[in-house]
Chains A and B, each alone.
Chain A
Amino acid sequence: MIVSSGNRGDAIRSDCYVEVSLHAATEHSIRIESKVKSLYGKSIRELCLKVLDFFELKSAQVFIDDKGALPFVIAARLEAAIKQMINTDKEFLLPVEGSEFITGKEMKRRSRLYLPGNNPKLMLNAGIYGCDGIILDLEDSVAPDKKYEARFLVRNALRSVNFYGSERMVRINQLPAGLDDLSFIVPHSVNLIIIPKCEHADQVKAVDRRISELLGKENTDIHLMPIIESAMGVINAYEIASASPNVVAIAIGLEDYTADIGAQRTNEARESFYARGAVVNAARAAGIQPIDSVFSDIENMNALAENVKQSKALGFAGMGCIHPRQVPVINEYFNPGQDEIEKAQKIVNAFEKAKELGLGVVALGSKMIDAPVVKRAQSTIKLAIEAGLINENWRESDGN
């Protein structure tokens, strides 16, 4: 029996393809074809032996067709192959690196970049584009026959790749398969789990429960972001948004939603006006962030900018990115504008002044300011500080 995993072919980079079988000899036979053989041939062989020994294989025959894969990729490919051959609960884990970063419930989530879960090449530099989150995707971007091996790669990437402070998100498969993904993710420093095609609060609760089981305690560590992608999901948006205190945002997925309601998706997006409004409303009612769908024309940055402006005008706090070049545009347009910041500063100043004077009512000039307006101004200021648009001590430096 020969088992295999990984990708091969001329276009493949930073990945490898492995074949493993058992044979009758007394020792392992390892054949490595690698473009980096002269620099890393020895270390690839050592890693391979370490994995074989870890799974207590005697006399395995291994072939690695390597296109510059990093150790975490090679290890994932080997483990995914070996586990098709033997039954074991053991996991070959590399040390955790650069992923000690914890994310808050209300952190900025303007941009989140989708990365196909079985493509290591795109993962390596994903953290350098300044996106607020990266999504290692196990769902739609992974071919059905690659779902199994992608789990190992995503697990290893969570541990080994430094995403430089981008929130580490994983999109699991649609339930119930998605529940089985969780053991590959939960113990491995994930910040947020995205639940696709969510229609009922029960689905969120099921994921949350499974996470708690895996953590061995009530989940308070891992955030959830359900994606609403159907008419039913829109109807239940508020229940979904408030299904668990761990839900920090709900997103809308318009490709599937428009198909579900029998409409064509258009650039004007009139067909999803209600759904987007409903999702924003549900999220805000539940006190969490509403996140918009992706924009699929990756060449047209002007159209993207228009899309983001509309999205922000509807009340969304962020949207998905399918290409790194979309990140700066999305970040920029979800950032508060100069006018917005100045207005928010005036409101916050008035609020602070009223507080100092012990006044119950906040007023700006002759206008009374209500509490939600103050709250929005505060979150605008927070975002402006996080995005580096104003100084943290802006009140002092402004002489206010």
Chain B
Amino acid sequence: METKGTKNAAGRMVPTEINGNPAIPYQGVGKYIPEGNRYAPKTSSSANYPLDGNKQIASLKEALQLAGLKDGMTISTHHHFRDGDLVANMVFDIVKELGVKNIRWFPSASFPCHTHLLQYLEDGTISHIEGSMNGPLGKYCSEGKMKKMAVLRSHGGRYQAIQDGEVKIDIAVIGAATADPFGNANGVNGHSVSGGLGFALADSQYAEKVIVVTDNLVQFPCFPWQIQGNYVDYTVVVDQVGIPEKIVSGTTAITKSPDRLLIAELTAKFCELTGIIHEGFSFQAGAGGTALSIGIYFAEIMRRKGIKARFARGGSNKYLVEMLEEGLIEYILDGQTFDLDGVRSLRDNPKHVSSSPFTSYNYHCKGNFAGMVDVVILGATEVDVNFNANVVTHSDGYLLHGIGGWQNCLFSKTVILPVPLFRDRFPVIMDEVTTLCGPGELIDVIVTERGIAINPLRKDLIEKVQGSGLPIKTIQELKDEAERICGKPEKPKLGEKIVAAIKWVDGTVIDVVREVESE
């Protein structure tokens, strides 16, 4: 693939064209300001829809045909069902059956259950994926086998790309635990509950055709209507939209690893001693085991000091719900619900509020919630001596994770990455990250089991930890120690071909993923 390239503001070579469309190189944090109007789909008219509100179609196949499915279209699906999702596989089985080719799949995230779609990448049913990739899909893309360049975006960036018209969705297929024939839908009732449906919000508003798929059709009105039927073209009932036990994914278990617990405890202690945990503060922790256990240590500190948080943002789970019910948190702003306790609370507790990438993260609107959060605790696969971090690729160059809300959360007042110094023999702290996903100027603190490094830009934090007894080191010291233990790594051999572009929150290209030469 011949691609025109240029060096962006982060010093990375990036293409100025992606799959034939112009791409803007990253210009720095807050530097790129778009002009012009938002994209809008065609105006629809109620005259074209049944007056009795019944938009039910007999099968998903018919609905896709009515939606005008044809070669080269963009189909979007969502990851509310996580690894229990049956909808995306169902959609592409039909696309294949109808002999339609070259579809751009635009999921909000993909999971191991979507390995089923590998065959459709191979036979040309799907031309490429714009969304997260891991496991076999990640391997396929990393080894340069995908026909076109993949594009990875944050949750907020996905919303922005839809608003920009950078990604025009032809057909959005939204799986929901409950819906009515008009298309009102939610994820909190029924047997395939997933919590909120926020990741499908933009798709419902901007796609040309919207199909709601459910296995629990109720009589109008389906309430709450997390997805509004007024945006929906067709509703379809199927036997099953998701596998309930897999919707609640394994990432929501508290870690038992003593190393990770130690890192979590140290992170919480840092937040206590620097006064980040204070009356009325707010926090967000990711979904990994380490992040979850940080919540538990936070709760202990808050209880001991009689401190309440105004709100917690992000994925909700049993532990966060317990804090809400105990009165340690006043509100949960829920972006993604990880377990049944989260679903129950979201449904029943008015202080557990569903949020979306629009409210939380979206960059092309009049502000968002991300910057109001006092502290976020996130993961990373690699961090470099300039505090730059990688969250999408492994050190061997293979795609491993999506960006999720990670980039968007970097705008929080304090960003902490608790990471081990090394995983097996993979150093986590290094000279230069394999793939740049987050610029170091937004990343404040790295907590490892062997010490804490504070970004020199955060003079306030450096001052606050003096005399605290916390094991403060420089990032360079941590890197040296990682190398002393693991040895100095070679640079993995990567090809010239660009297999994926990494977008920054504003839609510019911050870095690329290059082909891994498979053995």
Residues of A within 8 A of B (CB): 13-14, 35-43, 67-71, 97, 124-125, 128-129, 162, 323-325, 388
Contact = CB atoms under 8 A, between A and B. Distances in A.
Interface stretch (B39-47, B199-207, B484-492): B484-492
Contacts of A13: 424
B264 to A, nearest CB: 12
A68 B258 contact: no
Contacts of A42: 490
Interface string B408-442: 00000000000000011110000000000000000
B262 interface: yes
A316 B178 CA distance: 62
B193 interface: no
Contacts of B261: 325
A43 B262 CA distance: 31
B426 A36 contact: yes
B382 to A, nearest CB: 11
B120 to A, nearest CB: 29
12 contacts: A13-B424, A36-B396, A36-B425, A38-B395, A40-B425, A40-B489, A43-B487, A70-B486, A71-B487, A125-B258, A128-B262, A323-B258
A39 B262 contact: no
Contacts of A125: 258-259, 449
Given A125-B259, A128-B259, A325-B258, A68 B449 contact: no
Contact of A35 (B258, B424, B486, B489): B424
Given A124-B485, A128-B449, A38 B258 contact: no
A70 B425 contact: yes
Nearest to A13: B424
B344 interface: no
A68 B258 CA distance: 19
A388 B471 CA distance: 14
A13 B423 CA distance: 10
Report which residue of B424, B484, B485, B492 has the largest number of chain A beta carbons within 10 angstroms of its beta carbon.
B424
B450 interface: yes
Contacts of B489: 36, 39-40
Given A38-B492, A41-B490, A67 B258 contact: no
Nearest to A14: B424
Nearest to A125: B259
Interface in B465-500: 469, 484-487, 489-490, 492-493
Contact of A324 (B258, B396, B424, B486): B258
Contacts of A70: 425, 485-487
B383 to A, nearest CB: 16
B259 A67 contact: no
Contact of A38 (B262, B396, B469, B485): B396
Given A128-B262, A324-B258, A38 B493 contact: yes
Contact of B490 (A39, A162, A324): A39
B270 to A, nearest CB: 16
Interface in B251-267: 258-259, 261-262
Contacts of A324: 258-259, 262
B397 interface: yes
Nearest to B427: A39
A97 B493 CA distance: 31
Given A38-B395, A41-B490, 15 more contacts: A36-B424, A38-B492, A40-B425, A40-B490, A42-B490, A43-B490, A68-B425, A68-B426, A71-B487, A125-B258, A125-B449, A128-B262, A129-B258, A325-B261, A388-B469
B449 to A, nearest CB: 5
Report which residue of B395, B397, B485, B493 has the largest number of chain A beta carbons within 10 angstroms of its beta carbon.
B485
Contacts of B486: 40, 70
A244 to B, nearest CB: 35
Contacts of B395: 38-39
B449 A38 contact: no
A40 B485 CA distance: 13
A14 B490 CA distance: 18
Contacts of A38: 395-397, 490, 492-493
Contacts of B259: 125, 128, 324
A35 B424 CA distance: 9
A160 to B, nearest CB: 9
Nearest to A43: B487
Contacts of A162: 485
Nearest to B425: A68
A301 to B, nearest CB: 12
Contacts of A97: 484
Contacts of B490: 38-43
B216 to A, nearest CB: 39
Ordered nearest first, which 4 A-B pairs have the shortest CB separation?
A68-B424, A324-B258, A39-B489, A38-B492
A102 B423 CA distance: 30
Contacts of A35: 424
B424 A67 contact: yes
A323 B261 CA distance: 13
Report which residue of A41, A70, A388 has the largest number of chain B beta carbons within 10 angstroms of its beta carbon.
A70
B396 A39 contact: yes
Contacts of A36: 396, 424-426, 489
Contacts of B449: 125, 128
A25 to B, nearest CB: 23
A197 to B, nearest CB: 29
A116 to B, nearest CB: 15
Contacts of B487: 40, 43, 70-71
A312 to B, nearest CB: 24
Contacts of B396: 36-39
